[in-house]
Structure formats: C-alpha cells, structure tokens
C-alpha cells in the first residue's frame, strides 16, 4: 500500500468513527494536544508528580487489595454465584476515575469492568474528551455480579465499600465520574436520584465527583446521550483547569 492509499484509508476510518460518535449523540471530539515542554517559574512551588517508585508501590498495594477481594465471602450469595471477581482496571496514575454499579454477565465472565455493550459505549464517551481507556481507571461499587443483574442490596454495597474506598485512596484521582444512581448514591451517601445529582460537581473526601447516567441506561434511552455529553464537557473543563488533561 502506497502512502496516498494509507492516507485515504485512515481518512475513511476517521470518518466512520466520527459517524459512530454522531449516532451516539456526540457532536464534538476533543483531541489531546501534542506534548510540549512545560515552563516552570523560578518562584513556583514544588511540582508534585508520582515517581515510578511510587507508581510501583501503588500497583503493588492494588494487587494486595485485589487479592483480598478475590477471597472475599462477605456476601454469601454473590460469593457462591459469581464466576470471577471484577476488581477494576486501568491506569494506576489516572487523574480521572469512573465508578459504576456492579459487573454484568460479560464482566463476570472476563473479570474486567465494562466490557459488554455498555462498556463499548463508555469507551466512546471517554474518547470524546480526548482520552483513552488506558488513561483512566474504571471500577464498580460491587466487585461481584448480582444474580440476574438484580439491583445491589444495601448490605452488599456496604460490604464492598472498603474495596472501592481503598482503590480510590490508592489511585488518588483528581476527578471521579459516578455512572448511574447506585454509584452516585454509594459514593455520596445520599438517596437523591441521578437526575437530581447529574450535571454538577459534588464532593467525595475532597475529590470532585460528577454524576451522570450509566451507559447501560443510555442503551435503553439513547435520547439521554446528549445530557451525558454535556456532563463530560464539564469534566473536561475541570481537568483543563487542573492542568491534568493528559497523564
């Protein structure tokens, strides 16, 4: 394939990708800027960046936490019916973390979060603000799939809370995006509905939390995708203000 053919192929693939995003209600895509040297004033304070040693320590601690989750039997029904524990996945230095409700059938089989149709939509949502899945960390309130994808019980969310809070403490994201009612309620300790909470930032132990609709809800209600896009623009704006658009 000659250079002109390669360019034509890439252009065709880009157009197809943009059309897919448009069908999902996303009309703009933010492209990550090329890396540039960062000027630091002589009077500026120390810049805090995780070193490779620190990152390794975080990774090791996450592995230890995951091992505890794999052995957990606090929820007898979930422990007896699960196929795999879905701990979470992503960048241990992520500035943006997504928190969902609980694993579904596909996640239970693969042991990874958001790998089904809802996960494919979440990937598009992440890419719409110029990031990749490998830039963020994704987890759920529950590490095990509730039988038949039923609603998580309050005691199950409570039992699994140490794994969620422990993960957040280790990742130390700058922003959390809560996906759906249960994730938002679990993080913010509230009984408010997602429609009441979405569209603005809340606080989780000093971390800004933006609540939005779960991708699975969007698959059933595609007309709500525009609202999620508006929420994601708020997240991007906050990340721009923090100066942490890219990792």
Give the dihedral of Cα atoms 66, 70, 73, 78; nearest 10 deg. Answer: 100
Instruction: Confirm whether 97 is domain-assigned.
Output: yes
Instruction: Confirm whether 21 is domain-assigned.
Output: no
Instruction: Confirm whether 94 is domain-assigned.
Output: yes
Determine the 3-state secondary structure of 225 from DSSP: helix
How much is the pLDDT for 20? 47
Instruction: Confirm whether 73 is domain-assigned.
Output: yes
Indicate the pLDDT class of residue 52, thresholds 50, 70 and 90.
low
How much is the pLDDT for 4? 58
Q: What is the CATH number of the domain that holds 182?
A: 3.40.470.10
Instruction: Confirm whether 30 is domain-assigned.
Output: no
% the chain with pLDDT above 70: 76
Number of domains in the chain: 1
Instruction: Confirm whether 39 is domain-assigned.
Output: no
Contacts of range 60-68, beta carbons closer than 8 Å, 24 or more positions apart: 61/170, 62/92, 62/167, 62/170, 62/171, 65/163, 65/166, 65/167, 65/170, 68/163
Range of the domain at 91: 53-241
Instruction: Confirm whether 11 is domain-assigned.
Output: no
Instruction: Confirm whether 159 is domain-assigned.
Output: yes
Indicate the pLDDT class of residue 197, thresholds 50, 70 and 90.
very high
Indicate the pLDDT class of residue 46, thresholds 50, 70 and 90.
very low
């Amino acid at each position: 394939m000659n250079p002109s053919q390669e360019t034509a192929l890439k252009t065709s693939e880009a157009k197809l990708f943009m059309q897919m995003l448009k069908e999902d209600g996303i009309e703009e895509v933010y492209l990550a800027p090329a890396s540039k040297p960062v000027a630091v004033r002589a009077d500026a304070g120390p810049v805090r960046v995780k070193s490779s040693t620190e990152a390794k320590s975080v990774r090791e601690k996450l592995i230890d936490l995951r091992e505890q989750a794999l052995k957990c039997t606090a929820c007898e029904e979930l422990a007896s019916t699960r196929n795999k524990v879905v701990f979470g996945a992503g960048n241990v230095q992520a500035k943006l973390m997504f928190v969902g409700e609980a694993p579904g059938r596909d996640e239970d089989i693969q042991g990874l979060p958001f790998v089904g149709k809802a996960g494919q939509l979440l990937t598009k949502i992440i890419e719409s603000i110029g990031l990749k899945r490998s830039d963020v960390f994704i987890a759920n309130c529950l590490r095990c799939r509730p039988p038949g994808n039923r609603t998580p019980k309050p005691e199950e969310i409570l039992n699994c809370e140490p794994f969620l809070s422990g993960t957040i403490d280790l990742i130390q994201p700058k922003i959390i995006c809560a996906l759906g009612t249960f994730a938002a309620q679990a993080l913010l300790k509230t009984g408010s509905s997602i429609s009441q909470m979405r569209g603005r930032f809340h606080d989780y132990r000093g971390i800004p939390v933006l609540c939005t609709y779960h991708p699975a809800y969007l698959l059933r209600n595609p007309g709500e995708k525009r609202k999620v896009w508006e929420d994601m623009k708020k997240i991007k704006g906050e990340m721009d203000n923090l100066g942490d658009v890219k990792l």
